[in-house]
Amino acid sequence: MLLSKFYHSSQPAAKGLHIMIVGCGKVGATLVEQLGKEGHDITVIDTDPDIIQSMTNTYDIMGMVGNGASYSVQIEAGIADTDLFIAVTGSDELNLLCCTVAKQVADCAAIARVRTPDYSKESAYLREKLGLALIINPELEAAIEASRILLLPSALEVASFAHGQAEMVKFKIPENSQLDGLSLIDLNQKVESNLLVCVVEREDNVIIPSGQFVLQKDDVISFVSTPKVAKSFLSKIGFNIRQVKNAMIVGGGRAAIYLGDQLLKNGINVKIIEQDKKRCEELSILLPKAIIINGDGSDEDLLREEGIDSVEAFIPLTGIDEENIILTLFARQFSNAKVITKINRINFKSVIGKLDLGSIMFPKYITSEAIIAYVRAMTNTIGKNNIRTLYYLVDRKAEALEFEVEEESAVTGVPLMDLKLKPSLLVTCINRNGKILIPSGTDTICVGDTVIVVTVNTGFNDILDILL
């Protein structure tokens, strides 16, 4: 009986960390693709030989067929030389067991994907007792992201930095907006707000703008500010800044539990439509303040009966991407609700991006972003200026990174206008002892700051990477 088998590509091994990934589903494949691009030596383990064969044919990696929780399989796969072990199988228990074995066998950091609500409540305990570097819950992180958007429904995306003290907000400039034809240098004079526009998406182009850049209708812009300033700015330019009062969720899976809980905590009324009667009973216990409807969420008559035409937020969270998309398009046609669409598969993103789906969540990307930020911090051999937060922007064409500056270097104590920065890069925000600064050219970076950088130059590990 064949228990394990190695596959490998014919290419030479990459330089970087030695990373072992157990589980080659969507998240595993995303991690392999991105970490491979960043020059790491990767070994993958999965029980499916066809998947392993496909992965090793596509990427410059080693592959092994076997049980990732097996001591002998880990030894044969090279756990002794592994710097980072990542378990992202479909089973929380298997992921935790894989990491436990790896930590006992090797001196490596370990990351587990854990999605079950019961375990998520104990994630801090599990991480401490098992010695894990990270426990990632994509559905919970997606729910937190969605709740931030529903607190500011005019936004397409809201990314949080500096422990929530700074935000990057994305929105689309509508027709007849006062921003149409306005240069960024005149923006703060006409619309008094302490913010910095850092990314502009115009058709298929991604632009890190200068002060002379002129905005146009249909531009999708992202700016960095404090949450208070963000609301004030959007209000001044005519957007609705009032958080939604009620939300309708279709699908009663884990994502619905996490999102429902987040929304209820923020005072938003929640209605969940779920087809499985037994699951409805479970939801009524887990979310006693929510209204649980037993029915088919794809039934047009049921949606109308439950008030889709008057609901303020609509979030389809079924396990089928196509159904989520159709439900969103239906809601856009018959309702003025703020819509958020969850997409699990990451294929056909160019097509999905052209549909009117409102805000789009990719839980798989949320997982990979957190892991890749940790990997880059591990890779940092320059100094102690580690990455705290990483967000991919515009289909990974740009990145927003939050660096923690722990020592003096070439970027500290020098006015930003005197630093020789790489092109298409902006230092957008400085968090200094809890005070958020939107920097001008005369401001400096100091030891102890956290600094947010937005750039189309991907792969930064250290804040020194911003310099030419």
110 phi and psi, to 5 degrees?
Answer: -135, 140
376-466 and 246-361 share a CATH fold: no
Mean pLDDT value across residues 105-131: 91
- The pLDDT tens digits of the residues spanning 310-338 come to 999 999 999 899 999 999 999 999 999 99
Residue burial 265-281, b: 16+ Cβ < 10 Å; e: rest: eeebbbbbbbbeeebbe
The CATH superfamily assigned to 5-136 is NAD(P)-binding Rossmann-like Domain (3.40.50.720)
Residue 7: pLDDT band by 50, 70, 90 thresholds? very low
Compute the mean pLDDT over every residue in the chain, rounded to the nearest whole number.
91
- The pLDDT tens digits of the residues spanning 31-78 come to 999 899 888 999 999 999 999 999 999 999 999 999 999 999 999 999
State residue 13's pLDDT score: 38
Given a contact cutoff of 8 angstroms between Cβ atoms, the answer to whether 450 and 400 are in contact is: no
Q: Which CATH class for the 246-361 domain?
A: alpha beta
Q: What is the pTM of this model?
A: 0.87
Given a contact cutoff of 8 angstroms between Cβ atoms, the answer to whether 371 and 134 are in contact is: yes
For the chain, the domains span 5-136, 246-361, 376-466
The hierarchical CATH code for the domain 376-466 is 3.30.70.1450
- The pLDDT tens digits of the residues spanning 243-275 come to 999 999 999 999 999 999 999 999 999 999 999
461 phi and psi, to 5 degrees?
Answer: -110, -20
Closest alpha carbon to 359 in 192, 159, 155, 126: 155
State residue 10's pLDDT score: 38
* Three-state secondary structure of 146-209: HHHHHHCCCCCEEEEEHHHCEEEEEEECCCCCCCCCCEHHHHHHHCCCCCEEEEEEECCEEECC
CA distance linking residue 202 with residue 212, whole number of Å: 16
Residue 340 has pLDDT above 70, yes or no: yes
